[in-house]
Amino acid sequence: MEPIQLRRHLLAKPSELWWWRHWSLSLCIAGISLLCGACTVKVPVHPEVGTLENTDKLPVVTALLIKQETQGYIFHGYPENLTAGGRWHDFLLGEALEKAALQAFSQVFEQVRVVRTAAEAKPFQLVIEPTIEDFHFRYDQITYGPLRTGVLTKVTVYAILTAGDTTLWEHRVQSPWQRKGPWVINFSVEEEAGQSASEALAYALRTLAQEIAQDPSIRQWAAAGA
């Protein structure tokens, strides 16, 4: 049987040989992913919110409340699909949230100062507290076929704006899936994953800040001098 099978392989059509090589390489890539299953991917997240549109700063000193547990939040987990599914990923989302929130809300309020506790925030006229409610990521091989892979992430951020014991505004924003890639073989996938997460986080904070800036009730409150 072996000589017959070998002969059939040698007489195979070029298209059939291409597909055989195609899937063989895919199996090799999958094997490398499995071998790296014990590795932890440290994902750097560095969001850049950019410039908000048509924003006049509110003349209010505002506390940006990022509690210690929020600032130290790290997403520990696996991708939501089988591609690279054996690799544990660490996204440093808490530090990134603080950076993105400071970039965004500093364009909305005249002064923004980071505080860690409700007691520290109490003397301020306004307090804005953002938190990450949900985070998803996966590697996308279905879109590109077995030889190429991309990465997708999305995040949900909730923010509440208070004046003393009064809630002036609260909202949550879920970013669209942010895509990076594709690539065939990439030994630094954490860079693309980090860029994808950075853009998702920047989108959410930029949207929240823009909504506060355009909210007429908040502007009316600020104009009344609290």
Considering the domain architecture, whether residues 128 and 179 belong to the same structural domain is answered as yes
Average pLDDT over residues 194-207: 97
* b/e sequence 123-152, b meaning 16+ C-beta within 10 Å: ebbbbbbbbbeebbbbbbbeeeebbbbbbb
Considering the domain architecture, whether residues 15 and 77 belong to the same structural domain is answered as no
Q: Which of 179, 161, 165 is nearest to 101 (CA)?
A: 161
Considering the domain architecture, whether residues 12 and 92 belong to the same structural domain is answered as no
Considering the domain architecture, whether residues 33 and 116 belong to the same structural domain is answered as no
Considering the domain architecture, whether residues 129 and 158 belong to the same structural domain is answered as yes
Considering the domain architecture, whether residues 61 and 101 belong to the same structural domain is answered as yes
193 or 184, which is more confident?
193
- Check the CA dihedral 67-69-74-77 and report its sign: negative
Domains identified in the chain, total number: 2
Beta strands in the chain (DSSP E): 40-43, 58-65, 75-77, 88-91, 109-115, 126-140, 149-163, 166-174, 178-183
pTM of the model: 0.79
Considering the domain architecture, whether residues 22 and 124 belong to the same structural domain is answered as no
CA distance 26 to 42: 25
Q: Does residue 161 surpass a pLDDT of 60?
A: yes
pLDDT for position 8? 41
pLDDT band at residue 29 under the 50/70/90 scheme? very low
Q: Does residue 203 surpass a pLDDT of 70?
A: yes
Considering the domain architecture, whether residues 101 and 31 belong to the same structural domain is answered as no
Helix, strand or coil for residue 128?
Answer: strand
Residues of the domain holding 31: 1-38
Residues of the chain above pLDDT 90, percent: 61
9 or 133, which is more confident?
133
Considering the domain architecture, whether residues 151 and 184 belong to the same structural domain is answered as yes
Query: For residue 221, what are its two tokens?
Result: 């409150």
Q: What is the mean pLDDT of the chain?
A: 83
Considering the domain architecture, whether residues 140 and 191 belong to the same structural domain is answered as yes
* b/e sequence 41-64, b meaning 16+ C-beta within 10 Å: bebbbebebeebeeeeebebebbb
37 or 139, which is more confident?
139
On whether the CB atoms of residues 221 and 60 are closer than 8 A, the answer is no
Name residues whose C-beta falls within 8 Å of residue 14's C-beta, 6 or more positions apart in sequence.
none
Instruction: Specify the residue for token string 């990022």.
Output: 66
Q: Does residue 22 surpass a pLDDT of 60?
A: no
